[in-house]
Amino acid sequence: MSKETIKIFDTTLRDGEQSPGASMNTEEKIQIAAQLERLGVDIIEAGFAAASPGDFDAIEKIAQRVEKSTVCSLARAVDADVKAAGEAIAKAKMKRIHTFIATSPIHMEYKLKMKPDEVIKRAVRAVEYARTFVEDVEFSCEDAGRSDISFMKEISDAVIEAGATTINLPDTVGFRLPFEIGAMVKEMSEYVRGRAIISVHNHNDLGLGVANSLEAVVNGARQVECTINGLGERAGNAALEEIVMALKVRNDVFSNFVTNINTKEIYPTSRLIANITGIEPQPNKAIVGKNAFAHESGIHQDGVLKHKETYEIISPKDIGLDLNDTLVLGKHSGRAAFKDKLSKLGFTLEDEALNRAFERFKILADRKKEICDDDIRALVTNEMTKAAQVFEIVSLQLMDCSEGVPSAAVKIRKGEDETMDASIGGGTIDAVFKAIDRITGYTGRLDEYKVKSVSEGKDALANVTVKVSFNNEPAVIGHGLHIDTMLASARAYIGALNSYLSMEGKLKARYTDSSITV
């Protein structure tokens, strides 16, 4: 019997970015899209083109970059949204418009304030209009988990007739249990068989996103929508890595199904997104968590040493994590060893980018005795995803004591000019950021500040992530790496400002509708 391919629809760049604090600049989104393509996802939902000029710009650039995956943009069932989506993905080699409207009684009555027949007309209009831009159109019954199945059949008939080829059934609020999702998907997949593909998009509010997705596959879904590390609104979405590895590991149950995912790219993809968003998977997160392959119990350690499969159902190498890689880099390592390490970590850099990364590596190597894989991942990710450097930290001097007033003197370069100024603050970090504000002329509001150690030891890299708002526009994220936490903090703040300047005028949403959930 030939195996059926389950399409993996990744929405990390759209639904995942709706996680609080997960906003990304255009360069970061492009790098993530390139990695998702290497991972082998079938469809990349690159964003919501009508949301803002910044989203449109990122989708347009991703559409021109990606060749092996379908590039998709989300659109409400509104002409302006569909047009923006169509224009943003116009240059993609393979492209899709994903349009949606709510179909549950509670959404139609209280949010849309529309009658069912009006909803159907709006849906049909959106699909027909989308077909003027692309052949591949997906339609979502938002809040399908609480919709009447008879109405979903009626609207599915109408949109399929209008040209939709995929019908998505989102459990928008993560309400349904696996057996309920299974029953809904089975009935709908039998109803549309031969006319459209049934897809599912499960949120994780009850911790059932992955279980619901797997139950959907068994009952006829042939596309699963998910995110890396389970990112997404509220409690997140079904995690791509868990769905894919469940299908792979439990081949006895899912023997008829296969995905196009290159599982060895799972761990590199997870780390890239964690570094960019600053949102680390919980330590005990399945598949990609820090402790996913850690065995502390003596009994477990003894069993694993004797035979790995006693306590490991997945080999770390299956997801691209080589725990036994003994090539440790240091200040005497050459370009060839560095390039080889990057290749093993899943990075492919052009000569110019490789040279910049190598220069930063050598600077770090002068300060650290040994450099681990996570140091290199953080260093290269930070280099690859930086926005244009309008401002750059040249030097930082600090003064603080238990009795005195914290102060900071900062020198910043802009083009060929260097400016130095100082400020006092309620604390050292506050003084640093105020000094930067004085020099640059931009006053930022610090919404979030996080610092973590990239690796272990006294000489570990500090990875600082900040979330800053400038000119009352939506907050942007900045990252800073350095052994000195204060300098890493200054770089993160400047990074946020540079990201803001790269997107200035592109951040404000064109609408205030808060219903973009799907």
d(CA 315, CA 292): 11
Residue listed under structure tokens 């970059």: 65
The three-class DSSP label of residue 164 is: coil
The alpha-helical segments, DSSP class H, found in 10-163 are 26-39, 53-65, 79-88, 105-107, 116-130, 149-162
For residue 152, what are its two tokens?
A: 């979903």
Cβ atoms 381, 373 nearer than 8 A:
no
Distance CA 152, CA 155 (A): 5
* Separation between Cα atoms, residue 192 and residue 458, nearest integer Å: 60
Q: Please, what is the angle between helix 53-65 and helix 26-39, to 10°?
A: 40
Question: Cβ–Cβ contacts within 10 Å for residue 327, how many?
Answer: 11
| Ramachandran bin of 47, using left for φ above 0, alpha for ψ from -120 to 50, beta for the remaining angles | left
Q: Return the SS3 of 388.
A: coil
Long-range contacts of 133-136 (CB under 8 A, 24+ apart): 133/82, 133/83, 133/85, 133/86, 133/87, 133/89, 133/90, 133/97, 134/86, 134/89, 134/95, 134/96, 134/97, 135/165, 136/70, 136/94, 136/95, 136/96, 136/97, 136/165, 136/166
Three-state DSSP at 387 gives: coil
Annotated binding-site residue? 201? yes
Can you tell me the distance from the alpha carbon of 364 to that of 484, in angstroms, rounded to the nearest whole number?
Answer: 11
Residue 237 labelled as part of a binding site: yes
Assigned token pair, 238: 């079904």
**Distance, CA of 231 to CA of 10 (rounded, Å):** 11
Taking only Cα atoms into account, the Rg of the chain, rounded to an integer number of angstroms, comes to: 24
Q: Is 421 annotated as a binding residue?
A: no
Residues 6+ apart with CB under 8 A from 60: 87, 88, 89, 90, 91
Distance CA 288, CA 281 (A): 7
Burial of 10 (0-12, 13-18, 19+ CB in 10 A): buried
Q: Which residue carries 């990390």 as its tokens?
A: 12
332 is in an annotated binding site: no
**Feature table: binding site:** 15, 201, 203, 237
**Feature table: binding site for Mn(2+):** 15, 201, 203, 237
